Structure formats: C-alpha cells, structure tokens
Amino acid sequence: MNETPLPPIEKTPLMRRVEAAHQGRDIRALLIALYNELGSQKAVAAELGVAQATVDNWLARLNIGTASFPDAWLNKARR
C-alpha cells in the first residue's frame, strides 16, 4: 500500500537510524502503525530498540496524539 507523503520535519539522528532500520519508512507512519499493532508505547519501544521515554518524547515532538491510534483502542476494548 502506498502511503501519502508526509510534510518534512526535523528528525533526530536516532529517528533517522530507526527509519533506516525499517526500510526508510517515515518515523511518524512507523510509530502509528506499530502502536496500532502492538498497543503500547512500551511494546513499540521494544520493537524499535529504544527506551519507552524516547517513544513518548517522539510522539509529543511529532504531535502524534491518541486520535492517531484508533486500532489500538479498539483492540484493547476487545480484550
């Protein structure tokens, strides 16, 4: 599936390394997809090999709120 191009942002070196490790996928799209799949910042952090605090900081820095994670909320409600 083709993703709509996202506007450019200033990324940290760690964000760029994580993107490179995931076939160059944009960090914003990657964070949203992983959170929807895995359901928590802790799980996303483990998948990306970074600290949970890093994921939390990235979500805030990139202005990604919980409205970006509808699948995760639905999956938690079904459990």
Residue 41 lies inside a defined structural domain of this protein: yes
Q: What is the mean pLDDT of residues 34-41?
A: 91
Number of domains in the chain: 1
Q: How many CB atoms lie within 10 A of CB 30?
A: 21
- pLDDT for 52-79, tens place per residue? 999 999 998 998 876 666 665 445 444 4
Instruction: Give me the domain span that covers residue 62.
Output: 13-78
Residue 57 lies inside a defined structural domain of this protein: yes
Is pLDDT of 51 > 80? yes
d(CA 53, CA 13): 16
In this prediction, residue 9 carries a pLDDT of 86
Residue 51 lies inside a defined structural domain of this protein: yes
